[in-house]
Amino acid sequence: MRKSRKLRLLIESPAVTTVMGASSGLAAILAEEAGFDAVWSSSFEVSAFRGLPDASLLTMTDYLRSAVEVDRACGLPVVADCDTGFGNSLNIAHMIHEYEAAGIAAVCIEDKIFPKVNSFSSRGQVLEDVAEFAHRIAVAKAAQRDPDLVVIARTEALIAGCDVNEALRRATAYAEAGADAILVHSKSSVPDEVQEFLGKWSGIRPVVVVPTTYYDWPVGEMQKAGVAMSIYANQGLRATVSAVRRTLSTIREDGSSAAVENEVASVREIFELQRLDEWLSLSR
């Protein structure tokens, strides 16, 4: 079964599809090992691991390369964060062709103007015209060849300070343009506005959420509210920063790694994650 078909069946099922952010092949393997349903190739994480801000500095090629690395490392479908679509409608059509040809299961584009900055930045967010973005969604759907490729339209209305009614207006326009799912993003510390959105939503398309700031909303409650997919977009990245910083500081202060050796993965564990024995079995 193609991964795109697998993902489409997941989001159409009653259960919440859980997705973990992964910006490397190793992170994707760990997400699969932990039991997640899919992985999110995050522009925030890809940028961060290059030491750059999530501010439209990297190109489509950069993001596609990372998504492909993640896709090849695991058996899970990949949901690719494609920011604003890398340009105008022509760029979006090209993006669809390239991601689809690479076997990526889903692409997500957001309704902010280019260049975008991360949703949680203190910089004000500027939204794209509704009709223009709806047209881009329609172009994306017309460009796809794999009928199961999932095109997710992400509205940043709540991030930009608009009310739930504006988020609903935008989401409805994008659904009518052909989007397969709607991602409604929020930076509130509680899920209230997302729950309000869900309560008023027509249900014509599955709804995706990203509980980065309202992180104590459990999956069981999400399912009752009507969520189809929950993306844990950057917890892996943030855990990596904390763990590596702590480990490096300890080694530097102690003058040896003795104090951390029981806390860090063994070399043997890394070999297993790399499937070293499988690779070596191919040699004579």
> Which DSSP state fits 38?
E
The verdict on 181 and 65 lying in the same domain is: yes
The verdict on 68 and 171 lying in the same domain is: yes
* Contact partners, residue 60, CB within 8 Å, separation at least 6: 82, 86, 91, 94, 95, 98
Instruction: Please compute the mean of the pLDDT values over residues 92-96 and round it to a whole number.
Output: 98
pLDDT at 117: 84
For residue 256, what are the domain limits? 242-280
The verdict on 207 and 66 lying in the same domain is: yes
Contact present, 231 and 184 (Cβ < 8 Å): no
Total domain count for the chain? 2
**Residue given tokens 């300070």 in the structure block:** 161
The verdict on 184 and 83 lying in the same domain is: yes
* Active-site position among 54, 71, 81, 83: 54
pLDDT band at 118 (very low <50, low <70, confident <90, very high): confident
The verdict on 172 and 250 lying in the same domain is: no
Instruction: Please compute the mean of the pLDDT values over residues 232-239 and round it to a whole number.
Output: 97
The verdict on 11 and 98 lying in the same domain is: yes
129 is catalytic: no
Average pLDDT score, the chain: 96
pLDDT at 143: 98
The verdict on 213 and 249 lying in the same domain is: no
- Looking at the predicted structure, is the pLDDT value of residue 122 above 80? no
- Looking at the predicted structure, is the pLDDT value of residue 284 above 90? no
What's the CA angle centered on 147, arms 27 and 21, to 5 degrees? 15
The verdict on 195 and 262 lying in the same domain is: no
Instruction: Please compute the mean of the pLDDT values over residues 218-226 and round it to a whole number.
Output: 97
